[in-house]
């Protein structure tokens, strides 16, 4: 047990120590045959326990108790300086030895042994040596050999430490709270103690041979169950009872009787303290085992077992689950050690964001936050902040880097852990299909089940649409800011035509397709349909300047895509220079090597490549040095409010300046009105795209066919 530095005791507490010291000294004189030398001398035990936490004030208070005792009982004045000297020297040595031996290792048995070794053996020996020598030189106890006097004094000092030091240390460290911790045990132990003492007092000496062992056994109960403070109090009370029993028998006890009593007290006191230390260490070990069974070994957060217990014990409260998608990439690209460092860093961040909540790690890349007392609205706010902070965050290894892609669910836990976690899984399944922020919040499990069924239906609808070729190509014009005579430019978009003829935008079906891992197949479908349409409409192909095709993250990580595109271009006899393939910034960063090989293959074929949504990820401009792009597409987040936002104006101008320096052409998205058009032209943007210059229409309408 680690002891803290000195504290500042109150003056009433110090006065109480003085009075208590004087009273225990007066009582100790009864544990003697002649009345000259007590077999239990309390000052060292009191001072040693108190000084560890109260410092010099404790030693001064105990010394004051010596003065008070000498003055009140009329002891010889020579006793005061001798007793004070042995008290000071013994206490200082005991404190120094204990602090040198002290270890903050949580081992109660070892720490208890160090404590009583320092007090009873080291401090007691020096105190006895100083006292015996002083009394011998002063001519007191002249008929007793110095060695015998030293041994008697040492026993008395050691007994004071064994009986009192533990109690005074506990009170100095924790106050009366150290005793209140075992209040329930005390309410049962004290009546039993009173009954045992009463029986033996009434029977006097007839049961003396049984009384002492039974009183010693009475300490076993608190030794096994109590904290050290109450155990020390029980040792003191049993010691008083044993002394009273021996002194109360018929006939005055001799020195041998008193010495046997003292040795018995010492024996059960030492055994009780050691037994308590072993019991305490065992309880702490079991507690650590229980804690470890509820803790994640890697991050130190709570684990799923602890979360389930918390959920089962709660009422209505929101549960937030975060899952990192493609978490295997952390290990594959960064290595196991770096991936663990990433998870530990995320765990520390979660603790900071939800300090008053249960934060748990449920597995690789899967975390839970169970707020304390927060409502659904607060949990949704936390979910949004967490998603914004983690989405796209880049972690670097020695050779690779990985961008996080979180999915967040917020559900209501209603005291049923199984249902809460099932609802969270349903919400995650729904959230991952969102084309925007992958966050799903639902207070009702029935709503989640319906959303899950809708998601599954849409997945099946996408599969049917692929098989029946009901995915329709749309196009949106990309207009040169200044006439370039290079033909018509456009971006290919996709719509789903339902069985009843209704046309659905990507927001309706694309998330479901991504969840079903159909995006790679959809990309190939779009490329094949576009090339086939251009082959069948040569007049449109002749008018076409550049046609942009989006590649999803799944395709960007497919090493077979580039050879397949080359084969399709040759098969349909479409000039590759008329094609531009768009890759988003986050996709390029997430799979840097694969993206780099794809870009190089497409450009080698004659096609161009555009970096889409530039500025929304966490990459900086120096990433442009790593990839040979032809176009840089400015994300619409910086364009929508361009005329009114000086910050957006500065960002757009800087992007244009860097692109021009690197020989790249720029395309601005979400150009909604003429004011934005004029501003972008003034900044030197090369191409414009948005409802202000052209809406998405079926592919044939772009060419007026």
Which tens digits make up the pLDDT trace of 521-561?
Answer: 999 999 999 999 999 999 999 999 999 999 987 787 788 89
Domain CATH code at residue 329: 3.30.70.270
Write out the E strands in 556-648. Answer: 579-584, 608-614, 631-634
Same domain, 481 and 599: yes
- Tell me if residue 631 falls in helix, strand or coil: strand
Same domain, 510 and 653: yes
Cα separation, 527 vs 363, whole angstroms: 39
Whether the Cβ atoms of residue 378 and residue 317 lie closer than 8 Å to each other: no
Looking at the domain assignment, is residue 124 inside a domain?
Answer: yes
Using pLDDT thresholds of 50, 70 and 90, give the confidence band for residue 308: confident
Tell me the percentage of the chain whose pLDDT exceeds 70.
89
pLDDT digits (tens, 9 = 90+) for 195-221: 888 877 776 655 556 666 777 778 888
Looking at the domain assignment, is residue 164 inside a domain?
Answer: yes
Rg (CA), the chain: 42
Residue-level pLDDT at 323: 92
Looking at the domain assignment, is residue 454 inside a domain?
Answer: no
- Among 125, 157, 175, the domain boundary falls at 175
288, 330, 498, 316: which is closest to 413 by C-alpha?
A: 316
Cβ-Cβ contacts under 8 Å for 458 (sequence gap 6 or more): 433, 508, 509, 512
Cα separation, 476 vs 690, whole angstroms: 8
- Among 149, 175, 201, the domain boundary falls at 175
Tally Cβ neighbours within 10 Å of residue 221.
16
Same domain, 376 and 505: no
Across the range 373-384, mean pLDDT stands at: 83
Whether the Cβ atoms of residue 547 and residue 492 lie closer than 8 Å to each other: yes
Residue 586 has pLDDT above 60, yes or no: no
Assign 3-class secondary structure to 402-450. EECCEEEEEEEEECCHHHHHHHHHHHHHHHCCCCCCCEEEECCHHHHHH
Looking at the domain assignment, is residue 342 inside a domain?
Answer: yes
Domain CATH code at residue 141: 1.10.1760
Whether the Cβ atoms of residue 670 and residue 639 lie closer than 8 Å to each other: yes
Cα separation, 164 vs 49, whole angstroms: 8
Residue-level pLDDT at 408: 92
Whether the Cβ atoms of residue 612 and residue 633 lie closer than 8 Å to each other: yes
Same domain, 130 and 6: yes
Whether the Cβ atoms of residue 346 and residue 327 lie closer than 8 Å to each other: no
Residue-level pLDDT at 618: 43
Tally Cβ neighbours within 10 Å of residue 620.
8
94, 88, 95, 86: which is closest to 129 by C-alpha?
A: 86
Same domain, 407 and 518: no
Listed range (171-175, 249-253, 353-357, 446-450) with the worst mean pLDDT: 249-253
Residue-level pLDDT at 205: 52
Cα separation, 120 vs 238, whole angstroms: 20
- Among 175, 191, 214, the domain boundary falls at 175
Residue 178 has pLDDT above 80, yes or no: no
Cβ-Cβ contacts under 8 Å for 5 (sequence gap 6 or more): none
Q: How many residues does the chain have?
A: 705
**Beta bridge mates, 583:** 611
Same domain, 236 and 360: no
- Give the DSSP H or E segment for 479: strand 479-480
Cα separation, 702 vs 474, whole angstroms: 9
Looking at the domain assignment, is residue 373 inside a domain?
Answer: yes
Listed range (45-59, 446-460, 663-677) with the worst mean pLDDT: 446-460
Q: Where does 218-368 have alpha helices with state H?
A: 220-225, 228-247, 255-292, 304-312, 328-334, 336-353
Cβ-Cβ contacts under 8 Å for 172 (sequence gap 6 or more): 7, 9, 49, 50, 52, 53, 54, 58
Using pLDDT thresholds of 50, 70 and 90, give the confidence band for residue 585: low
523, 605, 603: which is closest to 556 by C-alpha?
A: 523
Looking at the domain assignment, is residue 371 inside a domain?
Answer: yes
Retrieve residue 86's tokens. Answer: 């042995």
| Residue pointed to by tokens 């009170």 | 171
Across the range 455-482, mean pLDDT stands at: 91
Cα separation, 48 vs 87, whole angstroms: 9
Across the range 344-360, mean pLDDT stands at: 85
Residue-level pLDDT at 584: 76
Instruction: Indicate the number of domains in the chain.
Output: 4
Whether the Cβ atoms of residue 680 and residue 668 lie closer than 8 Å to each other: yes
Residue 588 has pLDDT above 80, yes or no: no
Same domain, 473 and 601: yes
Same domain, 80 and 157: yes
Same domain, 504 and 438: no
Highest-confidence segment of 284-293, 357-366, 489-498: 489-498
Give φ, ψ of 303 to 5 degrees: -105, -175
Domain residues for the domain of 341 are: 304-443
Same domain, 287 and 329: no
472 or 21: which carries more pLDDT confidence? 472
**Interior CA angle at 364 toward 303 and 302, to 5°?**
15
Residue 604 has pLDDT above 90, yes or no: yes
Same domain, 529 and 512: yes
Burial class (CB in 10 A: 0-12, 13-18, 19+), 591: buried
704, 695, 242, 159: which is closest to 476 by C-alpha?
A: 695
Q: How many H-runs (helices) and E-runs (strands) does the chain carry?
A: 30, 18
Residue-level pLDDT at 371: 73
Same domain, 226 and 148: no
- Give the DSSP H or E segment for 368: strand 366-370
Looking at the domain assignment, is residue 455 inside a domain?
Answer: no
* C-alpha distance across the termini of the chain, in Å: 87
Looking at the domain assignment, is residue 449 inside a domain?
Answer: no
Residue 3 has pLDDT above 70, yes or no: no
User: Would the CA dihedral through 245, 246, 251, 252 be positive or negative?
Assistant: negative
């Amino acid at each position: 047990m680690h002891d803290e530095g000195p504290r500042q005791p109150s003056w009433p507490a110090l006065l109480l120590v003085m009075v208590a010291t004087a009273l225990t000294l007066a009582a100790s004189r009864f544990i003697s045959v002649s009345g000259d030398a007590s077999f239990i001398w309390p000052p060292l035990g009191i001072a040693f326990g108190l000084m560890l936490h109260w410092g010099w004030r404790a030693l001064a208070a105990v010394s004051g108790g010596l003065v008070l005792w000498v003055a009140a009982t009329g002891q010889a004045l020579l006793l005061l300086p001798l007793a004070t000297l042995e008290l000071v020297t013994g206490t200082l040595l005991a404190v120094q030895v204990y602090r040198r031996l002290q270890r903050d290792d949580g081992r109660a048995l070892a720490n208890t042994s160090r404590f009583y070794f320092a007090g009873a053996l080291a401090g007691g020996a020096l105190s006895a040596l100083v006292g015996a020598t002083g009394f011998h030189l002063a001519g007191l106890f002249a008929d007793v050999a110095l060695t015998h006097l030293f041994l008697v004094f040492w026993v008395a000092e050691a007994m004071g430490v064994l009986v009192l030091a533990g109690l005074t240390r506990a009170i100095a460290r924790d106050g009366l709270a150290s005793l209140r911790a075992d209040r329930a045990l005390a309410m049962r132990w004290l009546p039993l103690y009173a009954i045992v003492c009463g029986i033996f007092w009434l029977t006097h000496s007839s049961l003396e041979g049984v009384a002492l062992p039974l009183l010693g056994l009475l300490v076993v109960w608190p030794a096994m169950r109590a904290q050290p403070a109450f155990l020390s109090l029980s040792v003191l009370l049993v010691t008083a009872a044993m002394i009273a029993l021996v002194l109360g028998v018929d006939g005055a006890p001799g020195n041998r009787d008193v010495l046997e009593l003292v040795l018995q007290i010492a024996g059960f006191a030492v055994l009780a303290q050691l037994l308590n230390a072993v019991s305490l260490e065992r309880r702490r070990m079991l507690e650590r085992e229980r804690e470890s069974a509820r803790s994640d070994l890697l991050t130190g957060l709570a684990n799923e077992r602890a979360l389930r217990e918390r959920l089962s014990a709660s009422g209505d409260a929101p549960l937030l689950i975060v899952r990192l998608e493609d978490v295997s990439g952390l290990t594959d690209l960064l290595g196991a050690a770096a991936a663990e460092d990433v998870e530990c860093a995320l765990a520390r961040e979660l603790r900071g964001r939800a300090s008053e909540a249960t934060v748990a790690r449920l597995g690789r890349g899967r975390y839970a936050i169970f707020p304390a007392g927060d409502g659904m609205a607060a949990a949704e706010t936390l979910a949004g902040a967490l998603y914004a902070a983690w989405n796209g965050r880049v972690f670097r290894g020695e050779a690779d880097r990985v961008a996080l892609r979180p999915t967040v669910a917020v559900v209501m836990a209603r005291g049923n852990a199984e249902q809460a976690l099932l609802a969270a899984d349903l919400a995650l399944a729904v959230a991952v299909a969102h084309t925007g922020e992958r966050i799903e919040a639902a207070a009702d499990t029935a709503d989640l089940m319906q959303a899950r069924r809708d998601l599954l239906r849409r997945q099946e609808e996408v599969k049917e649409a692929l098989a029946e070729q009901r995915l329709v190509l749309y196009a949106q014009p990309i207009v040169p800011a200044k006439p370039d005579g290079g033909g018509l430019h456009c971006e290919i978009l996709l719509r789903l035509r339902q069985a009843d003829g209704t046309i659905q935008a990507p927001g309706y079906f694309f998330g479901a397709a991504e969840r079903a891992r159909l995006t790679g197949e959809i990309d190939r479908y779009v490329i094949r349909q576009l090339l086939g349409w251009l082959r069948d409409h040569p007049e449109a192909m002749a008018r076409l300047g550049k046609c942009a095709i989006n590649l999803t993250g799944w395709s960007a990580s497919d090493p077979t895509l580039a050879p397949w595109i080359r084969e399709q271009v040759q098969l349909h006899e479409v000039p590759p220079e008329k094609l531009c393939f768009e890759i988003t910034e986050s996709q390029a960063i997430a799979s840097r090597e694969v993206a780099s090989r794809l870009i190089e293959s497409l450009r080698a074929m004659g096609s161009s490549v555009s970096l889409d949504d530039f500025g929304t990820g966490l990459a900086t401009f120096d990433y442009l040095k790593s990839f040979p792009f032809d176009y840089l597409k400015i994300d619409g987040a910086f364009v929508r409010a361009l005329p009114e936002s000086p910050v957006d104006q500065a960002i757009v101008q800087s992007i244009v300046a860097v692109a021009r320096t690197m020989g790249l052409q720029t395309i601005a998205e979400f150009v909604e009105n003429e004011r934005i058009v004029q501003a972008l032209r003034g900044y030197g943007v090369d191409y414009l795209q948005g409802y202000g210059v052209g809406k998405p229409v079926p592919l044939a309408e772009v060419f007026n066919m």
